[in-house]
Structure 1
Amino acid sequence: MRSAYLVVISLLIGILIGAGGVSVLSAPIPDREVIYQVSTINALMESVYDGVVPVHELTRSGDHGIGTFDSLDGELILVDGVVYQAQGDGSVRVAPGDLRVPLAVVTFFDPDITLPNLYTSGYRNFEDVLLDSIRSENLMYAVRIDGVFSSVTVRAPHRQERPYPRLVDALSDQYMATHTTISGTAVGFLLPQYMAGLNVPGYHLHFISDDRTIGGHIVDFSLEGATVYLDETLVFMKQLPAEGGFIEVDLSADLSDELTIVERPVEE
């Protein structure tokens, strides 16, 4: 009993010290089994591009993820805890910590499934190959691919100026390039169809080369002996913007057709 009382007292002291602002813990221990999202995909589709969360705060919620930046200034690739910015001129840089994001999805990546030495041809074939490896299409998965891409087509939008155009229009002159026989990493998510409007249903992947000079949103890709990792995650947390364009935008429209054009514009 005495030891039990000591444990309770220790916990109470810890709570009181934390309330007084002098806790030895500078931040709460993050929950690694949560997918954390800023804003919604439909808000981005409707030109809500103002950043709401800085990069340095985003990485407190994950070491793996995707998104975009304030004013739609390129594609966000979070890999191994580092945020990269694939810009509209085709260049890639480490994103400044104070750069804000209007949309991002991140998690701490702890793979549950490993599929080594995969050869696939095109996005559709990749989807078919992985279908038998997941427990359910109703669950959420973080996805990572490491290895050789026999081809990968990437895109990145140019920074937009006010008044912001809608996303389908903003991407009309985006940077797009296809690279062959390139080693790199793809990160992203496989999300259920019922999450339409909140996020992109199905696969949504961003790529960065091993030398960190090529990157962007993946439009299409094929693999040449790559390893695919899947992290099944059951908890989803969303942070909505508290001000700005998100407050007044009409998010009632069905944008699924436009989303298909935005995500994979070269698909037949």
Structure 2
Amino acid sequence: MAEQKKQSVLFQHGTLSLLVPGLFAGTMTVGELLQHGNYGIGTVQDFNGELVVLDGHAYQVVESGAVNELSAEQSVPFATVHFDDPVAQIELTNLNKAEVERYLLEHYPFRNVFFAVKITGEFAHMHTRVVEEQQKPYPTLTEATKTQPKFNQDNIHGTLIGYYAPELFQGVAVSGYHVHFLSDDRKTIGGHILDYRLTKGQVAIQPFATLEQHFPLSNADFRNQNFNYDGMSQSINQAEK
């Protein structure tokens, strides 16, 4: 019973909204994060690239396109993870990103909850981007994402992982889908997904009964930040979608 509860929990450290004013300092170690889930996404200390957590390993895709496996001592300002335990697995073929996302919302009754999406398979095309490392004093999210290297790869096998969040939770997360990718060889292509075409893949979906929201309470910058929520949703959408 306890294990089932653990698997129905989505754990999130930080909120997407804390990135808007530029709170990019790492406030949780990777080692601690992986105690709460073996799959997930996020970003890394100094907003340095895209975080992809697969099968208990944390990978960082940096602005050059290179992929590094993160050590337990490295840290993250914002990340979301869960223990993989899908309620449904299906095979889909020859669909693009929008078609896959629409299919899941039309066929599964989860549009009002958080759910994880995992796709393992062959992609006819994958289009990603990666945020660039920032230096203190940190800029705002809007400034930091003005330049984002983009990558394209055809006929690539790998794993898509990410989440759907109801519109009610915009700011905690980005409403709608937020998904990352990493190729099977852990080096060809990865990052935040802008678009893709799926040739053939196993699609897994996992809804969550509980969102465990963890705040960086020991971080003075977070505690003292006077968040301006005017325009926050627009900043998030501009940076994340």
Short-chain TM bin: over 0.9
Matched, 1:256 2:233: yes
1:258 Cα deviation (Å)? 2.1
- C-alpha RMSD of matched pairs (Å): 1.6
For residues 193-247 of structure 1, what are the alpha-carbon distances to aligned partners after superposition, in whole Å with 9 as ceiling and x for unaligned? 1111111111110100010002111111111111110011110111111123212
Aligned to 2:164: 190
Matched, 1:244 2:220: yes
Aligned to 1:113: 88
For the residue of structure 2 that corresponds to 1:138, the secondary structure is coil
Does the Cα contact within 8 Å between 1:50 and 1:244 map onto a contact in 2?
no
Matched, 1:203 2:188: no
Aligned to 1:100, which of 75, 78, 82?
75
Matched, 1:172 2:182: no
AA at the equivalent of 2:232: L
Matched, 1:80 2:55: yes
Aligned to 1:65, which of 35, 40, 65?
40
AA at the equivalent of 2:106: D
1:33 Cα deviation (Å)? 1.6
Please report the TM-score for the alignment, with normalisation by the length of structure 1: 0.84
Does the Cα contact within 8 Å between 2:171 and 2:236 map onto a contact in 1?
no
- How far apart, in 1, do the equivalents of 2:238 and 2:122 lie? 27
1:99 Cα deviation (Å)? 0.7
- How far apart, in 1, do the equivalents of 2:109 and 2:93 lie? 19
1:263 Cα deviation (Å)? 1.8
Matched, 1:125 2:112: no
For the residue of structure 2 that corresponds to 1:135, the secondary structure is coil
For the residue of structure 1 that corresponds to 2:223, the secondary structure is helix
AA at the equivalent of 2:142: V
Aligned to 1:48: 23
- How far apart, in 1, do the equivalents of 2:86 and 2:101 lie? 18
For the residue of structure 2 that corresponds to 1:173, the secondary structure is coil
Gaps of 5+ in 2: none
- How far apart, in 1, do the equivalents of 2:30 and 2:169 lie? 24
Does the Cα contact within 8 Å between 2:128 and 2:195 map onto a contact in 1?
yes
1:32 Cα deviation (Å)? 2.0
Matched, 1:220 2:195: yes
Does the Cα contact within 8 Å between 2:8 and 2:209 map onto a contact in 1?
yes
- How far apart, in 2, do the equivalents of 1:157 and 1:140 lie? 24
Aligned to 2:124, which of 150, 160, 171?
150
- How far apart, in 2, do the equivalents of 1:132 and 1:147 lie? 22
For the residue of structure 1 that corresponds to 2:146, the secondary structure is helix
Identity %: 31
1:108 Cα deviation (Å)? 0.3
Q: Find the structure with the greater CA-based Rg.
A: 1
- How far apart, in 2, do the equivalents of 1:81 and 1:73 lie? 20
- How far apart, in 2, do the equivalents of 1:201 and 1:100 lie? 25
AA at the equivalent of 1:156: V
**165-174 or 104-113, which moves further after superposition?**
165-174
For residues 8-64 of structure 1, what are the alpha-carbon distances to aligned partners after superposition, in whole Å with 9 as ceiling and x for unaligned? xxxxxxxxxxxxxxxxxxxx9782221010111011122110111100110000001
**226-235 or 239-248, which moves further after superposition?**
239-248
AA at the equivalent of 1:127: E
- How far apart, in 1, do the equivalents of 2:239 and 2:126 lie? 17
**127-136 or 87-96, which moves further after superposition?**
127-136
AA at the equivalent of 2:239: V
Q: How many residues align?
A: 236
